[in-house]
């Protein structure tokens, strides 16, 4: 993945925006909820403030519980939205295989 050289540009659709807040709003508009094989999946653009862009996207299932006592939770990550969803689907497949 290439770094986003222009902070005024949405890294997903490449649209030019006036302010950083407008860029964030554009990015958040790309986040969505979808259903794959009956599993409801929410994606989120995380973009952590580190050079590594491999965790820019996060994908979780509808029953995701962030509480510390909730036990291990499936959580897909990836440099793109589709990669995060693919990561999550792989984890779901692995869980079902055991
Ligand atoms: Zn956009």
| Cα 57 to ligand 1 centroid, rounded to whole Å | 14
What does pTM read for this prediction?
0.75
| Cα 27 to ligand 1 centroid, rounded to whole Å | 5
| Cα 22 to ligand 1 centroid, rounded to whole Å | 9
**Residue 2 pLDDT class (50, 70, 90 cuts):** low
55 is a domain residue: yes
pLDDT in tens, 11-57: 888 899 999 899 989 988 888 899 988 899 999 998 888 999 999 99
Q: 3-state class of 68 per DSSP? A: helix
76 is a domain residue: yes
Cβ neighbours of residue 25 under 8 Å, at least 6 residues apart?
17
7 is a domain residue: no
| Cα 68 to ligand 1 centroid, rounded to whole Å | 33
pLDDT of residue 3: 57
- What mean pLDDT, rounded, does the chain reach? 88
The total of structural domains in the chain comes to 1
| Cα 39 to ligand 1 centroid, rounded to whole Å | 26
Name the nearest CA neighbour of 36 among 86, 94, 98: 86
Query: Domain range holding 63?
Result: 32-97
């Amino acid at each position: 993945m290439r770094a986003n050289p222009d902070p005024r540009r949405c890294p997903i659709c490449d649209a030019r925006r006036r302010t950083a807040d407008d860029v964030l709003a554009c990015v958040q508009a790309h986040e969505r909820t979808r259903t794959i094989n009956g599993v409801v999946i929410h994606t989120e653009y995380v973009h952590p403030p580190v050079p590594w862009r491999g965790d820019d996207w996060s994908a979780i299932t509808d029953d995701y519980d962030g509480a510390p006592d909730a036990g291990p939770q499936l959580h897909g990550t990836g440099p793109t939205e589709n990669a995060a969803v693919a990561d999550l689907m792989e984890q779901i497949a692995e869980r079902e295989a055991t």
